[in-house]
C-alpha cells in the first residue's frame, strides 16, 4: 500500500446529492404522487417529471460479483443510478418508462425476482447466523432462502390482504427487526451456558459477568483457587447476555438449539399503533439445509392469514380482531405453557375481562 | 479453488426461485480463498448444527474504536481462509443511494483487500464488508478514505444514523431526512468513531409515520416526520378514485382509526382536529390526499430489541419539532440527553432502560422537557406519588 | 490553573495501566475519575481530547466485550485464545 497518501479520518460519508438521479434532484421535496405500475414497479411524479423504480430481491449476503451485476444493469438502463431499501432490496431508478421492461428482462436473466411492493411479502430483514456470528443458534441466510423459496410468489405478486414483513434473527440479540415484524423467525438456545473455567478467569471480568444476567443467575465462585462464576440453571432463560460480555460462556448446543416463530408485529402507524410480535411456535428443530418444519409453519401462517383477513388488515390487526384463541385454532399450532409470559410486566398480558369468543 | 469445494448440504440451497447466497458465494470462491473456506466452514456448521466463530477481538483501524467487528474462526487450522474474518462497516450515503461507479469503486477495494463478500446493508444501515484479515484493515481504510468513504459505528458509540429516501423520492416526506442524517453524521463524527457512551445509541430517521426505517422499533432516538395542520385534499382526484370503483367507504372511511372521514358522493371531508396522522387514508389515495404544510418531526426515545430488559418501542418525548438547518434545537436536545445518560447510566444500559430506571419525570426534568399528555397513553393508575411541594405550618415550604 | 490535555492523558494512562487485567475501563469511567480529581478545572471536552491523544498515539486501544473499553494494547488475537 502506498505510504505517501495522507491518512484521513472523520470525513464521514460522501454527500448523497452526487448519487441522486437528475429527475430526483429536480423534484427533490416537490413530489406530487406515486403510482403502482406492476408488482415491483413504482412511478413517482413531480413537477419536473417522473422517475420509475424497479425493485429487485437480493440475498443481502451479496458478493462483489452480484453487486457488479446490479451496477451493470444500472449503467445500461438507469444512467448508473440505483439504491438499496431498508429491507435489502435493490432499486433501479430511471426516467425512461421504456427501460422498465429492459431492467426486468436483465434481472430475469440473472434469475432475480422483481416485486416486494404494496401487498406483497417484501425481502426478509435478517442477521448473520452461522455465516459470521459467534452467538448464532441457527443460520439466517439459509432460513431466509428456504422460506422465500416457499413464498416467492407472494414477493412477485400483491395478492395478500396487506403488506407482510418477515424477519429472521439467529439469537435473542435480535439484530434484525424480529420484535416488530408480521412474521419473525428467531433462533433460540435452550440450555444454559457451558462455562469454560480454564479461560474465564483470564478473559472475563467477574463483576461485569455477574451483572450481565437479567435474572441474577450468575454468582462468583472459586475453582482451584481461581475466581470464576457459576450459573443457577433453574434461573437461566438462555438469553446469552453473559456470553456477550464473557466469551467463556458459550450457549451453543447442537442438540437443543432451534427456531421459534413469532407473529403480529408492525412498525407503521397506519390505522393501529405499532405492535410487538407475539409467540406462535416456541420451538422447531434446527433441520438444515432446508428446515422443512419452519417453512411449513410460516407457509401455514401466511395461508391462513391470506384466506381470512380483510383487505388492508395487517397480520397483527387481523389477529387482534379475531382473537388469539382463534388464531391458534385456525393454524392448528399448539398453545403451551411457554406462551404464557413470565418476564417483566408479564401480568399486563393476562386476560382481565370476560370478553372471549365461545 | 472452487473445484474442490465439497458442500452437498449447502448446494441444496442452490435450488428454488429465490436468489441463492450459496451460488453467489461460489461465484467468488474461485478468486477468493476466504469465500471458499467460508463455504467449507458453513458446510460444517450445517452438518453439526452449530456455529464455528469465536467472540470478537481487539481489532480496528488506528484511532477509531468503532467501525470494525473482529471475528476469528474457531477452526483456523481446518479453515485457514477464515482464520481472520473481520467485518468493516462503511458509512452508507443518506437514503442508500449510489451510482454504479461509486459502488464499483468500493467493490474494487474489497476484491483487493477482503473476501469479496458484503451485506447490502447491515441492520443499522452501514454497508457491511464481510471478512478480511487484520493486516488488511488499515489498507482497506486508506483506500476507502481516498475515495471519500469513511467507517460507521460499532461498540458503545453513536451508531451510524440512517434514513428513508424521503424528499428524494417520496411525496410523504415531512422534512429533509437525507440532509438531517448527513448533518448528524458529520456533526457527531467523534461520537461515531470513538466510543464514549454506556452502550450503543442508534438514530434512525423516517420522513413520515409510515416509518420505513423502523425507527420506532429499532433506534434509541427515532426522528419521524409529522405535520400539524390539515391533510391536503384534491377533490377532483378523489372523485376519480370513486369513479374507478374503489370501495372508498370500506377501504378508507371505515378504516380510519378515529372515524374522522366522511364521504358524500364524490366529496371527501376530513375532521382534521381528530386526525391522528396515521397515514392510512393518504397511503390508499396518494393522488387525492397529501400531508399538510406545517411539517416537522416527532422524536421518540428508547426503542430496542429485548437484550437486556425486554424489547421496547420508542416513547414520544417531543410530539413536534421543526427541522430546518442548522438544526440547533435538535443538536441541543441530543447533547443534553447524552450528557445526562452518560453521567448517570450504567454499563450496557440503553437509553430506554435508563429512562425507565430514573423515571420519565426525572428524565424530563434533567434534559429540560415539559411533561405533556402526548407523552403517555394515559396518566398513572396508581396513587404512589412522590409529592415535592407541600405547605409547611410556618416558614419554609414551597407554594404555587 | 487549568490542567493540560497531555497531563490528563498521562493521568488516565496511569489509571488504565493500574487496572489492566482487573477491570476494563470505559471512557465514562475515565471521565468520572478525572472529574473527581480535578473538579471544575477540567471539562468533558478536555478529557475526551486526552483519551483521543492516548488512542492516536497508540498508548491505549479500544477493546470490546459487550461494551467498549479503553485498554493497553495487546498482541493481535489476544481474544483469540
Ligand atoms: S441475532 Fe444474535 S447470532 Fe444473529 S447476528 Fe445478531 S448477535 Fe449474532
Ligand atoms: S444466559 Fe442469560 S439468564 Fe442464563 S446465565 Fe446467561 S445472562 Fe443469565
Ligand atoms: S417513511 Fe414516509 S417519507 Fe420516508 S420513504 Fe417511507 S413513506 Fe416516504
Ligand atoms: S391520516 Fe389516519 S387518522 Fe387521519 S384522517 Fe387519515 S385515516 Fe384518519
Q: Kindly list the distances between the CA atom of residue B146 and the CA atoms of A13, B62, B132, in Å, as whole numbers in the listed order.
A: 12, 16, 19
Q: Could you give the CA distance from residue B90 to residue B112 in angstroms, rounded to a whole number?
A: 16
C36 touches chain B (CB under 8 A): no
Give the cell for residue B252: 378508507
CB-nearest to C66 from A202, A207, A244 is A244
Q: Is A191 in the pocket of ligand 2 (CB under 6 A)?
A: no
Closest C-alpha to B124, from B56, B179, B73, B192: B192
Residues 125-144 of A with CB under 8 A from C: none
pTM: 0.95
Contacts of residue B306, defined as CB under 8 A and 6 or more positions apart, other chains included, come to A172, A174, A179, A239
**Intra-chain end-to-end CA distance of chain A, in Å:** 73
Q: Could you give the CA distance from residue B212 to residue B235 in angstroms, rounded to a whole number?
A: 28
Q: Identify the structural domains of chain C with CATH numbers, from first to last.
A: 5-80 (1.10.10.10)
Which tens digits make up the pLDDT trace of B303-312? 998 887 788 9
Q: Is B261 in the pocket of ligand 4 (CB under 6 A)?
A: yes
Q: Could you give the CA distance from residue C41 to residue C37 in angstroms, rounded to a whole number?
A: 9
Quote the ligand 2 centre to A190 CA distance (angstroms): 11
Q: Could you give the CA distance from residue A222 to residue B143 in angstroms, rounded to a whole number?
A: 49
Tell me the fold of B162-227+296-375. Answer: Sulfite Reductase Hemoprotein; domain 1 (3.30.413)
Query: Which atom of ligand 3 is found nearest the CA of B177?
Result: 4
A342 touches chain B (CB under 8 A): no
Please provide the DSSP assignment of A153-222 as one string. HHHH---SSS-B-EEEESSTT--SSGGGSSEEEEEE--S-----TTTHHHH--HHHHHHT-TT--EEEEE
C26 touches chain B (CB under 8 A): yes
pLDDT at position B301 is 97
Q: Could you give the CA distance from residue B73 to residue B69 in angstroms, rounded to a whole number?
A: 13
**Which residue's C-alpha cell is 478514505?**
B145
B194, C51: Cβ pair inside 8 Å? yes
Q: Could you give the CA distance from residue A327 to residue A334 in angstroms, rounded to a whole number?
A: 10
Closest C-alpha to A51, from A29, A26, A70, A75: A26
Whether the predicted pLDDT of B169 surpasses 50 = yes
Contacts of residue A233, defined as CB under 8 A and 6 or more positions apart, other chains included, come to A192, A217
Where residue B59 falls among pLDDT bands split at 50, 70, 90? Answer: confident
Where residue A178 falls among pLDDT bands split at 50, 70, 90? Answer: confident
Q: Are strands B87-90 and A61-63 parallel, antiparallel or unpaired?
A: unpaired
Closest C-alpha to B56, from A252, A128, A135: A135
B57 touches chain C (CB under 8 A): yes
Which tens digits make up the pLDDT trace of B97-155? 999 999 999 999 999 999 999 999 999 999 999 999 999 999 999 999 999 999 999 99
Q: Kindly list the distances between the CA atom of residue A211 and the CA atoms of A80, A208, A245, B241, C21, in Å, as whole numbers in the listed order.
A: 51, 5, 10, 59, 18
Q: Which of B209, B280, B286, B288 to mutate to test the pocket of ligand 4 (most atoms within 8 A of CB)?
A: B280
Q: What percent of chain A has pLDDT over 90?
A: 91
**Top CATH class, B2-146:** alpha beta
Please provide the DSSP assignment of A245-302 as one string. H-TT-----TTT-EEEEEE--B---SSS--B--EEEEEEEE--TTT-HHHHHHHHHHH
**Top CATH class, B232-290:** alpha beta
Q: How many CB atoms lie within 10 A of CB A8?
A: 13
Q: Could you give the CA distance from residue B167 to residue B208 in angstroms, rounded to a whole number?
A: 11
A9, B313: Cβ pair inside 8 Å? no
Q: Could you give the CA distance from residue B53 to residue B85 in angstroms, rounded to a whole number?
A: 9
| DSSP state letter for B159 | P
Torsion of CA A23, A28, A32, A33, to 10 degrees: 70
Exposure string for B138-158, b = 16+ CB within 10 A, e = fewer:
ebbbbbbbeeebbbbbbbbbb
Helical spans, DSSP H, in chain B: 8-11, 21-29, 33-48, 100-113, 134-146, 177-187, 189-193, 215-218, 235-243, 248, 280-284, 328-344, 351-358, 360-367
* Candidate from A135-139, A201-205, A315-319 with smallest mean pLDDT: A201-205
Mean pLDDT of chain A: 95
C79, A208: Cβ pair inside 8 Å? no
Q: Could you give the CA distance from residue B145 to residue B151 in angstroms, rounded to a whole number?
A: 9
pLDDT at position B261 is 98
C67 touches chain A (CB under 8 A): yes
Helix (H, G, I), strand (E, B) or coil at A141: helix
Chain A residue with CA closest to C68: the answer is: A245
Query: Does the CA dihedral B386-B390-B393-B395 come out positive or negative?
Result: positive
A142, B46: Cβ pair inside 8 Å? yes
Torsion of CA B49, B54, B56, B62, to 10 degrees: -130
Which tens digits make up the pLDDT trace of A71-127? 999 999 999 999 999 999 999 999 999 999 999 999 999 999 999 999 999 999 999
Where residue B347 falls among pLDDT bands split at 50, 70, 90? Answer: confident
Q: Kindly list the distances between the CA atom of residue B115 and the CA atoms of A201, B28, B60, B286, in Å, as whole numbers in the listed order.
A: 34, 8, 17, 44
CB-nearest to B156 from C26, C51, C61 is C26
C76 touches chain A (CB under 8 A): no
The full 3-state SS of A2-66, as one line of letters, equals: CCCCCCCCCCCCCCHHHHCCHHHHHCCCCCCEEEEEECCEEEEEECCEEEEEEEECCCCEEEHHH
Task: Please list every residue in chain A whose beta carbon sits closer than 8 Å to the beta carbon of residue C66.
Answer: 208, 212, 244-246
Exposure string for A72-111, b = 16+ CB within 10 A, e = fewer:
ebbbebbbbbbbbbbbbbbbbbbbeeebbebbbebbeeee
Using left for φ > 0, alpha for ψ between -120 and 50, and beta otherwise, residue A118 falls in left
Q: Could you give the CA distance from residue B303 to residue B63 in angstroms, rounded to a whole number?
A: 30
Q: Could you give the CA distance from residue B86 to residue B88 in angstroms, rounded to a whole number?
A: 7
Q: Is B253 in the pocket of ligand 4 (CB under 6 A)?
A: no
C77 touches chain A (CB under 8 A): no
Mean pLDDT of chain C: 85
Please report, for chain B, the start and end positions of each structural domain, with discontinuous segments joined by +: 2-146, 162-227+296-375, 232-290
Which tens digits make up the pLDDT trace of B11-46? 999 999 999 999 999 999 999 999 999 999 999 999
CB A55, CB A156: distance < 8 Å: no
pLDDT at position B395 is 60
Helix (H, G, I), strand (E, B) or coil at B71: coil
Where residue A4 falls among pLDDT bands split at 50, 70, 90? Answer: low
Query: Does the CA dihedral B295-A34-B316-B152 come out positive or negative?
Result: negative
Quote the ligand 2 centre to A212 CA distance (angstroms): 8
Nearest CA to ligand 4 atom 2: B278
Chain B residue with CA closest to A32: the answer is: B171
Query: Which atom of ligand 2 is found nearest the CA of A231?
Result: 5
Q: Which of B251, B262, B269, B276 to mutate to test the pocket of ligand 4 (most atoms within 8 A of CB)?
A: B276
CB C26, CB C70: distance < 8 Å: yes
pLDDT at position A193 is 97
What's the gap in Å between the CA of A215 and the closest CA on chain C?
17
C80 touches chain A (CB under 8 A): no
Q: Is B43 in the pocket of ligand 3 (CB under 6 A)?
A: no
What's the gap in Å between the CA of C78 and the closest CA on chain A?
9
Q: What is the largest CA-CA distance in chain B?
A: 92
pLDDT at position A1 is 46
Closest C-alpha to A80, from A36, A13, A24: A24
Which tens digits make up the pLDDT trace of A122-155? 999 999 999 999 999 999 999 999 999 999 999 9
Chains with at least 3 CB pairs less than 8 angstroms from chain C: A, B
| DSSP state letter for B250 | I
Where residue A186 falls among pLDDT bands split at 50, 70, 90? Answer: very high
CB A311, CB B32: distance < 8 Å: no
Where residue C78 falls among pLDDT bands split at 50, 70, 90? Answer: very low
Contacts of residue B230, defined as CB under 8 A and 6 or more positions apart, other chains included, come to B270, B272, B292
Which tens digits make up the pLDDT trace of A208-252? 999 999 999 999 999 999 999 999 999 999 999 999 999 999 999
CB B83, CB B72: distance < 8 Å: yes
Nearest CA to ligand 2 atom 6: A242
Over residues A292-300, the mean pLDDT reads 98
B56, C71: Cβ pair inside 8 Å? no
C43 touches chain B (CB under 8 A): no
Chains with at least 3 CB pairs less than 8 angstroms from chain B: A, C
Q: Could you give the CA distance from residue A309 to residue A315 in angstroms, rounded to a whole number?
A: 8
C81, A199: Cβ pair inside 8 Å? yes
Q: Is A286 in the pocket of ligand 1 (CB under 6 A)?
A: no
Quote the ligand 4 centre to B229 CA distance (angstroms): 13
Mean pLDDT of chain B: 94
Q: Are strands B203-206 and B162-163 parallel, antiparallel or unpaired?
A: parallel
pLDDT at position A3 is 56
B57, C79: Cβ pair inside 8 Å? yes
Q: Could you give the CA distance from residue A171 to residue A237 in angstroms, rounded to a whole number?
A: 13
Give the cell for residue A77: 438502463
Q: What percent of chain A has pLDDT over 70?
A: 99
Whether the predicted pLDDT of B2 surpasses 60 = no
B162-227+296-375: same fold as B2-146? Answer: no
Helix (H, G, I), strand (E, B) or coil at B221: strand
Chain C residue with CA closest to A173: the answer is: C66
pLDDT at position B1 is 46
pLDDT at position B396 is 56
pLDDT at position C75 is 57
Quote the ligand 3 centre to A86 CA distance (angstroms): 11
Contacts of residue A138, defined as CB under 8 A and 6 or more positions apart, other chains included, come to A129, A130, A170, A187, A257, A258, A259, A286
CB A24, CB A48: distance < 8 Å: no
Q: Could you give the CA distance from residue B355 to residue B363 in angstroms, rounded to a whole number?
A: 6
Closest C-alpha to A124, from A108, A113, A135, A136: A113
Task: Please list every residue in chain C whose beta carbon sits closer than 8 Å to the beta carbon of residue A173.
Answer: none
Peptide bond into B121 cis (omega under 30): yes
Q: Which of C68, C73, C79 to mutate to probe the B interface, most B CBs <10 Å?
A: C68
Helix (H, G, I), strand (E, B) or coil at B104: helix
Over residues A167-172, the mean pLDDT reads 94
A203, C23: Cβ pair inside 8 Å? no
Helix (H, G, I), strand (E, B) or coil at B150: coil
Quote the ligand 1 centre to A246 CA distance (angstroms): 15
Nearest CA to ligand 3 atom 7: B210
Amino acid at each position: 500500500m502506498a505510504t505517501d497518501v495522507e491518512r484521513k479520518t472523520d470525513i464521514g460519508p460522501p454527500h448523497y446529492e452526487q448519487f441522486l438521479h437528475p429527475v430526483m434532484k429536480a423534484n427533490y421535496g416537490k413530489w406530487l404522487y406515486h403510482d403502482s405500475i406492476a408488482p415491483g414497479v413504482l412511478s413517482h411524479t413531480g413537477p419536473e417529471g417522473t422517475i420509475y423504480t424497479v425493485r429487485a430481491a437480493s440475498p443481502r449476503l451479496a458478493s462483489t460479483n452480484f453487486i457488479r451485476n446490479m451496477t451493470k444493469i444500472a449503467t445500461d438502463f438507469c444512467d448508473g443510478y440505483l439504491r438499496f431499501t431498508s429491507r435489502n432490496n435493490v432499486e433501479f431508478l430511471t426516467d425512461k418508462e421504456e427501460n422498465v421492461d429492459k431492467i426486468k428482462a436483465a434481472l430475469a436473466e440473472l434469475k432475480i425476482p422483481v416485486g416486494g411492493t404494496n401487498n406483497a411479502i417484501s425481502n426478509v430483514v435478517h442477521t448473520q447466523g452461522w455465516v459470521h456470528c459467534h452467538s448464532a443458534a441457527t443460520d439466517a441466510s439459509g432460513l431466509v432462502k428456504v422460506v422465500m423459496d416457499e413464498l416467492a410468489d407472494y414477493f412477485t405478486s400483491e395478492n395478500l390482504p396487506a403488506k407482510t414483513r418477515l424477519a429472521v434473527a439467529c439469537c435473542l440479540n435480535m439484530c434484525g427487526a424480529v420484535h416488530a415484524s408480521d412474521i419473525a423467525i428467531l433462533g433460540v438456545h435452550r440450555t444454559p451456558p457451558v462455562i469454560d473455567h480454564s479461560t474465564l478467569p483470564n478473559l472475563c471480568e467477574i463483576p461485569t459477568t455477574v451483572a450481565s444476567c437479567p435474572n441474577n443467575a450468575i454468582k462468583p465462585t472459586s475453582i482451584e483457587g481461581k475466581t470464576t462464576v457459576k450459573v443457577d440453571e433453574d434461573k437461566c432463560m438462555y438469553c446469552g447476555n453473559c456470553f456477550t460480555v464473557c466469551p467463556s460462556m458459550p450457549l451453543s448446543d447442537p442438540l437443543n438449539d432451534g427456531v421459534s416463530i413469532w407473529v403480529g408485529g408492525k412498525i407503521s402507524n397506519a390505522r393501529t399503533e405499532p405492535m410487538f410480535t407475539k409467540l406462535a411456535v416456541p420451538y422447531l428443530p434446527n433441520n438444515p439445509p432446508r428446515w422443512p418444519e419452519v417453512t411449513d409453519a410460516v407457509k401455514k401462517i401466511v395461508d391462513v392469514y391470506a384466506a381470512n383477513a380483510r383487505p388492508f388488515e395487517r397480520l397483527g390487526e387481523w389477529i387482534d380482531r379475531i382473537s388469539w384463541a382463534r388464531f391458534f385454532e385456525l393454524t392448528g399450532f399448539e398453545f403451551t405453557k411457554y406462551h404464557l409470559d413470565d418476564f417483566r410486566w408479564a401480568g399486563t398480558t393476562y386476560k382481565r375481562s370476560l370478553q372471549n369468543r365461545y | 479453488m472452487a473445484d474442490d469445494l465439497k458442500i452437498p448440504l449447502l448446494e441444496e440451497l442452490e435450488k428454488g426461485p429465490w436468489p441463492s447466497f450459496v451460488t453467489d458465494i461460489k461465484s467468488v470462491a474461485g478468486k477468493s480463498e476466504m469465500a471458499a473456506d467460508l463455504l467449507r466452514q458453513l458446510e460444517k456448521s450445517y452438518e453439526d448444527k452449530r456455529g464455528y466463530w469465536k467472540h470478537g477481538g481487539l481489532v480496528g483501524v488506528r484511532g477509531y474504536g468503532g467501525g470494525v467487528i473482529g471475528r476469528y474462526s474457531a477452526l483456523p487450522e481446518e479453515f485457514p481462509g477464515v482464520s481472520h474474518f473481520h467485518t468493516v462497516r462503511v458509512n452508507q450515503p443518506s437514503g442508500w443511494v449510489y451510482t454504479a461507479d461509486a459502488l464499483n469503486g468500493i467493490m474494487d477495494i474489497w476484491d483487493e483487500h477482503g473476501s469479496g463478500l458484503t451485506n447490502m446493508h447491515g441492520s443499522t444501515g452501514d454497508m457491511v464488508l464481510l471478512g478480511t484479515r487484520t493486516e488488511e484493515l488499515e489498507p482497506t481504510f486508506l483506500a476507502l478514505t481516498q475515495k471519500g468513504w469513511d467507517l460507521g459505528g460499532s461498540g458503545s458509540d453513536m451508531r451510524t444514523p440512517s434514513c428513508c429516501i424521503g424528499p428524494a423520492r417520496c411525496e410523504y416526506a415531512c422534512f429533509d431526512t437525507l440532509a438531517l442524517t448527513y448533518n448528524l453524521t458529520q456533526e457527531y463524527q467523534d461520537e461515531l468513531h470513538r466510543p464514549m457512551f454506556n452502550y450503543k445509541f442508534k438514530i434512525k430517521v423516517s420522513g413520515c409515520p409510515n416509518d420505513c426505517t423502523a425507527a420506532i422499533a429499532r433506534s434509541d432516538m427515532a426522528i419521524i416526520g409529522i405535520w400539524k395542520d390539515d391533510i391536503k385534499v384534491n377533490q377532483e382526484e378523489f372523485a376519480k378514485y370513486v369513479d374507478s370503483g374503489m370501495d372508498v367507504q370500506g377501504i378508507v372511511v371505515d378504516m380510519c382509526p378515529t372515524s374522522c372521514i366522511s364521504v358524500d358522493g364524490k366529496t371527501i371531508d376530513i375532521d382534521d382536529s381528530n386526525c391522528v396522522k396515521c397515514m392510512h387514508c393518504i397511503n390508499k389515495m396518494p393522488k387525492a390526499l397529501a400531508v399538510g404544510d406545517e411539517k416537522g418531526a416527532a422524536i421518540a426515545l428508547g426503542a430496542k430489541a429485548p437484550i437486556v430488559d425486554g424489547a421496547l418501542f420508542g416513547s414520544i418525548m417531543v410530539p413536534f419539532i421543526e427541522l430546518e438547518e442548522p438544526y440547533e434545537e435538535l443538536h441541543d436536545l441530543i447533547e443534553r440527553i447524552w450528557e445526562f445518560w452518560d453521567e448517570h447510566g450504567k454499563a450496557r444500559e440503553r437509553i430506554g432502560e435508563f429512562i425507565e430506571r430514573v423515571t420519565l419525570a426525572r428524565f424530563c426534568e434533567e434534559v429540560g422537557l415539559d411533561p405533556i399528555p402526548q407523552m403517555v397513553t394515559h396518566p398513572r393508575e396508581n396513587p404512589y406519588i412522590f409529592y415535592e411541594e407541600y405547605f409547611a405550618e410556618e416558614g419554609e415550604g414551597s407554594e404555587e | 490553573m487549568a490542567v493540560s490535555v497531555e497531563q490528563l492523558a498521562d493521568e488516565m494512562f496511569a489509571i488504565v495501566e493500574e487496572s489492566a487485567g482487573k477491570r476494563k475501563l470505559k471512557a465514562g469511567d475515565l471521565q468520572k475519575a478525572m472529574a473527581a480529581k480535578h473538579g471544575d478545572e477540567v471539562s468533558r471536552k478536555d478529557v475526551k481530547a486526552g483519551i483521543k491523544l492516548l488512542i492516536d498515539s497508540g498508548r491505549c486501544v479500544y477493546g470490546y466485550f459487550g461494551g467498549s473499553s479503553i485498554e493497553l494494547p495487546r498482541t493481535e488475537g489476544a481474544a483469540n485464545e
